Amino acid sequence: MTGNQGQWITVDDQGRLCVPSRPVIGFIEGDGTGPDIWRAAQRVLDAAVRAAYQGSREIVWKELLAGEKAFARTGQWLPDQTVEDIRKCVVAIKGPLTTPVGGGMRSLNVTLRQVLDLYACVRPVRWVRGVPSPMKHPERVNMVVFRENTEDVYAGIEWPAGSREAEKVRAFLCEELGVCVREQAGIGIKPISRFGTERLVRRAIRYALQHGLPSVTLVHKGNIMKYTEGAFRQWGYELAAREFPDKTVTEEELENRWNGQAPQGTVVLKDRIADAMFQQALLRPEEYHVLATPNLNGDYLSDALAAQVGGLGMAPGANIGDRCALFEATHGTAPKYAGLDKVNPSSVLLSGAMMLDHLGWNEAARLVERALERTVSDKIVTYDLARMMDGAREVKCSQFADAVIERLAP
């Protein structure tokens, strides 16, 4: 796509983005409240780009279909064309998509991550000044979670209790491997590979080094699941020693060799048992900066951290691979509020700021973040925050976007 319609982003041989001044970026509105929050966020992102670059840069938006809107129009929840268009756009953003609990269609979020090999779910969690929090010191929480996106129990390799497949797997385990599994058990497989672990930990360490962050912590349950999550821990340390020997130090090396003071320009590599990490996140959050986790641990932990700074409504996220990236609101669809112009658009707004950073448009990203913080600090908020704040002015989703746009000046 060229000319007045914009140009495609490309990726060079080193995996670096080549971003034109008018890039084509895909968007998926999402289900439930998705259209409301997307309309608000799109206006803010466009206004931030105009304010930052005075017309020299512009996003050309391309709508992509997924979820309920896609099913209504095409009979498919995730059309093949949408997957192909995300690959072509290289960068896309989406609202929340419906996924039923139990039976029914498979999670569209998981499917997109696996089909596009978006192996790193990246979720920065920090407190926005003025947001109500259950914590005494939410400002101490400032972490970036790198969650492996394609393996672990989320790989979706499972069979229902009583099915032919489950009984076949159960029989194999019992007869061939001597592992007793109860009859009528649902069975799932938990794959964690060296390849999947290393590329995630590599990206986490590079992020810490690029952003001058002091530590990367491997979060695992390797004391129990020794050959999956225990291997995740071991492979992470081996990767760091092999590829970043002069840029990483372990906690043991820190104490025994460096007297507790990390050399300039290095990252301290830590590891924590998952349940202990939840406690640390509450009691000593300032000691942790980048977390690298298997899939399930990262899902739980990123949501728990978000709760400490005000909830998922304030939590951005992205799914990033080597060839494309999909930014997203991290919360659900809240269908009872669909079309009411009511809910908080901050999650998708902050994900949009992440997307601008990914493009290298850092000036516009900072405008979005500062304007959102000014708006909340002025106590102009949607209902979810207003009910927890004294003296707040409750506004609609679209009015919140108006207030953010008014505060976009550098």
Which residues are catalytically annotated?
Answer: 154, 221, 275, 299
Residue 12 assigned ligand-binding role = no
Helices and strands (DSSP H and E) totals, the chain: 14, 17
Q: Is 149 annotated as a binding residue?
A: no
Beta bridge partners of 188: 158
Q: Is 393 annotated as a binding residue?
A: no
C-beta neighbour count of 55 within 10 angstroms: 8
Tell whether 270 is in a known binding site: no
387 in a known ligand binding site: yes
Residue 295 labeled ligand binder: no
113 is in an annotated binding site: yes
Q: Which amino acid is at 307?
A: A
Angle made by CA atoms 62, 364, 409, in degrees to the nearest 5: 125
Residue 98 among known ligand-binding residues = yes
- Buried b / exposed e over 206-231, threshold 16 CB at 10 Å, is ebbbeeebebbbbbbbbeebeebbbb
Question: String of b and e for 352-363 (b: at least 16 CB within 10 Å)?
Answer: bbbbbbbbebee
Query: What count of other Cβ atoms lies within 10 Å of the Cβ of residue 196?
Result: 21
214 labeled binding residue: no
1, 23 contact by CB (below 8 A): no
- Annotation-wise, does 123 bind a ligand? yes
- Structure token digits, residue 401: 């976007």
Q: Is 300 annotated as a binding residue?
A: no
150 labeled binding residue = no
- The single residue listed with the structure tokens 């399930």 is 296
Residue type, 183: E
Neighbours of 44 (CB within 10 A): 25
Please indicate if the annotation marks 284 as binding a ligand.
no
* Binding site per annotation, positions for Mg(2+): 299
* Binding site per annotation, positions for D-threo-isocitrate: 107, 109, 113, 123, 147
* Binding site per annotation, positions: 98, 107, 109, 113, 123, 147, 299, 331-337, 344, 383, 387
* Binding site per annotation, positions for NADP(+): 98, 331-337, 344, 383, 387
